[in-house]
Amino acid sequence: MMTFEGSMTALATPFRNGALDESAFRALVRQQIEGGTSVLVPMGTTGESVTMTADERARAVRVVVDEAQGRVKVVGGAGSNNTAEVIESVARVRDAGADGSLIVTPYYNKPTQAGMVEHFRAVARAHPGFPIIAYNVPGRTGVDLLPETMLRLCDIPEVVAIKEATGNMARAVDLLEKCGDRLTLLSGDDFTVLPFIACGGKGVISVSSNLAPRMMADLVALARAGDMAKARELQVKMNNLHRLLFIESSPIPVKWGLHLLGLFGPEVRLPLVPMTEPQAAKLGEELRLLGLLKR
């Protein structure tokens, strides 16, 4: 079963006049591949998938797959709080040519741990042999996929990895204790890439790498190679960028940053609104300090 590791980018989605800006999306894909990103992840939280239609999401994944041309892997976001809808979304992701799917824990419903197991089991049963990355982000979903539950998910061959976004290093160790090498552990938190890898992780699904793909790829590579001193320098160097990218609801700041870098416009869909001026100025200055934006 295919798995995924390294520096993986949760792609932001460019809009122009309310529609997917395909040419800008392709430019972002090229920038990511040239910057050393190993896996592209469209249609996650950063991609504003929740305000896109099923057809738009499928089209976005297809554009990424087409532009990537097999040079890197593509994992399409397919999460929902409706299991039947997830099954349909995974079918669309698979038909679009993606290598796997990212499935967030069901939100709003607040399922029990047993309910989450059955959720993933139903999706896997509907799509045998198609890899799933489970995504745990309690701050957005209201539920926490516990290590004991991940151990139960290890019985589902299609579940190959977990994107763990609690920011809790004890959680990373608990997952390693429970699941060992059965699952690939991926950080879902840019602030903790280095310590997460030190605790057994094999990569990150990153927001910041939209803006700094080479820097994040280098950080992950150094950490995985055991060069902790150089990796620590990069982790600290990027820390304020991570902070600023979450100073307003993500992906508002990262889309503003991509706008400043000339990759695409800052357009977001309601209920999100563009970044406020004081915060936008701080982000622009940080991009200049990192050498990503010319003065």
Binding-site residue positions for pyruvate: 46, 205
Catalytic annotation, pick one of 107, 108, 110, 163 = 163
- 135 an active-site residue? yes
Read off φ and ψ for residue 199, nearest 5 degrees: -95, 15
Instruction: Verify whether residue 107 is a known catalytic residue.
Output: no
Binding residues: 46, 205
Active-site entry in 135, 202, 237, 255: 135
The candidate with the shortest Cα–Cα distance to 210, out of 261, 249, 164, 254, is 254
In sequence order, the 6+-apart residues with CB closer than 8 A to the CB of 172 are 164, 185, 187, 195, 196, 199, 200, 201
Rounded Cα–Cα distance for residues 269 and 17 (Å): 10
Question: What spatial distance separates the first Cα and last Cα of the chain, rounded to whole Å?
Answer: 47
Residue 289: both structure tokens together: 């300090």
Closest to 260 measured CA to CA, from 220, 293, 226: 293
125 neighbors 156 (Cβ within 8 angstroms): no
Catalogue the active-site residues: 135, 163
